[in-house]
Amino acid sequence: MAEQGKQGRTPSSDTFLPLSRVRTIMKSSMDTGLITNEVLFLMTKCTEMFVQHLASEAYKDSFPASKQPSSDTLKYDHLSQLVNKSKNLEFLLQIVPEKIRVHEFQEMLRLNRSGGSDEDDDSGSGSGSESDE
Amino acid sequence: MGQKEIFILPCPTLAFTITSKTPTICVIYAGSVSGNNLRFPDKLRNMVERIEDLNLPNAVIARLIKESLPDGANVSKEARAAIARAASVFAIFVTSSSTALAHKQNHKTITAKDILQTLSELDFESFVPSLTQDLEVYRKMVKDKKESKANKKDASTSEKASSSVATEEAAE
């Protein structure tokens, strides 16, 4: 039907991701009103594009310019690196955080505590050990 | 910061901070926030019974990733899960941003235009051209469907119409 394919990609009205699931996700955002079919389609499409964008960017960054068919593996760290340096992926910083070691995390927690706020006093169940106090 | 509202999802690791101007999404780790400043909206509780309802199907995600990588490339399980999670959050992020945009224009529901505009505001302009094309194709398909339905109704007695519809569908 439509023969004009830009960027090696033909526009189509097919979606791969399930529309109903995307609708649920959209509804989980606050005060989303009515979701028309058109909007649902568009959102599904752009989520698909986002998945491919994320994967290919992370891959490109980590394995640059190796033209021969490679068998490299895309790992979590490549993703978190990409998220860390891309401005438009900032919203993912806490969703795909860089991995840190447990003792580094405990160090951070300690610094945070001494930093002043005693807001998280009763949060001990998460971290387990609270010997400082 | 007084305007900020925090909503927490049935999962301890995901929560949304929504301000009237710029919706941001953040993760609250279990135990990092004391319970009393969290509000659990009824609407949300009814909507999403299980946190898995917000996950996108693994197989589809895996296929999409594979398509975008060169042949022979592999994806670790962890990376795939992270991408799937990121995609859900992306959808929520774009939805709430476009809702905010629509509200700013005194519209109650979001339109396709709102989404496209939001995408370019969020620095994803590169998506817009292909999405616009997709949208055109989609609109055309919807229109065709409507027309063929109308045709069917008009000429339900003659077999000619239905067979032409069938070929049309096959051509797609």
* pLDDT tens for chain B, residues 1 to 172: 444 444 444 443 444 444 334 444 444 433 334 344 444 455 454 456 667 788 999 999 999 999 999 988 999 999 999 999 999 999 999 999 999 999 999 998 999 999 999 999 999 999 999 999 999 999 999 999 999 999 988 887 565 545 555 555 555 4
User: Are residues A16 and B94, on separate chains, in Cβ contact within 8 Å?
Assistant: no
Checking if the pLDDT of A10 tops 70, the result is: yes
Q: How many domains does chain A have?
A: 2
Tell me what pLDDT residue A97 has.
92
- The domain of A86 spans 75-115
Checking if the pLDDT of A111 tops 50, the result is: yes
User: Distance between CA B17 and CA B125 in Å, rounded?
Assistant: 25
Q: Is A128 on the interface with B (CB under 8 A)?
A: no
Residue A1: inside a domain, yes or no?
A: no
For residues A107 and A82, state if they share a domain: yes
Contacts of B119 in chain A (CB under 8 A): 46
For residues A60 and A81, state if they share a domain: no
Residues 68-87 of chain A with CB under 8 A from chain B are 69-76, 78-80, 83, 87
Highest mean pLDDT among A4-8, A85-89, A124-128: A85-89
Checking if the pLDDT of A77 tops 60, the result is: yes
Pick from B96, B81, B75: which is nearest to B24 by CA? B96
Contacts of B139 in chain A (CB under 8 A): 38
Tell me what pLDDT residue A114 has.
85
For residues A54 and A34, state if they share a domain: yes
User: Are residues A54 and B139, on separate chains, in Cβ contact within 8 Å?
Assistant: no
Q: Is A59 on the interface with B (CB under 8 A)?
A: yes
Q: How confident is the model at residue A116 (pLDDT cuts 50, 70, 90)?
A: low
Mean pLDDT of A68-97: 89
The token duo for B26 is 């953040």
Q: Is A38 on the interface with B (CB under 8 A)?
A: yes
Residue A28: inside a domain, yes or no?
A: yes
For residues A60 and A79, state if they share a domain: no
Shortest CB distance from B31 goes to which of A41, A45, A127?
A127
User: Distance between CA A96 and CA A82 in Å, rounded?
Assistant: 10
Q: E-strand spans in A1-133?
A: 73-74
Residue A31: inside a domain, yes or no?
A: yes
Question: With contact defined as beta carbons under 8 Å apart, do B103 and B33 qualify?
Answer: no
Domains and CATH numbers, chain B: 42-140 (1.10.20.10)
Tell me what pLDDT residue B161 has.
47
Q: How confident is the model at residue A18 (pLDDT cuts 50, 70, 90)?
A: very high
Residue A42: inside a domain, yes or no?
A: yes
For residues A27 and A56, state if they share a domain: yes
- pLDDT tens figures, A33-68: 889 999 999 999 999 999 999 999 999 988 876 655
Residue A70: inside a domain, yes or no?
A: no
Tell me what pLDDT residue A129 has.
43
Tell me what pLDDT residue B166 has.
53
Residue A32: inside a domain, yes or no?
A: yes
Phi, psi of A67 (to 5 degrees): -80, -30
For residues A59 and A21, state if they share a domain: yes
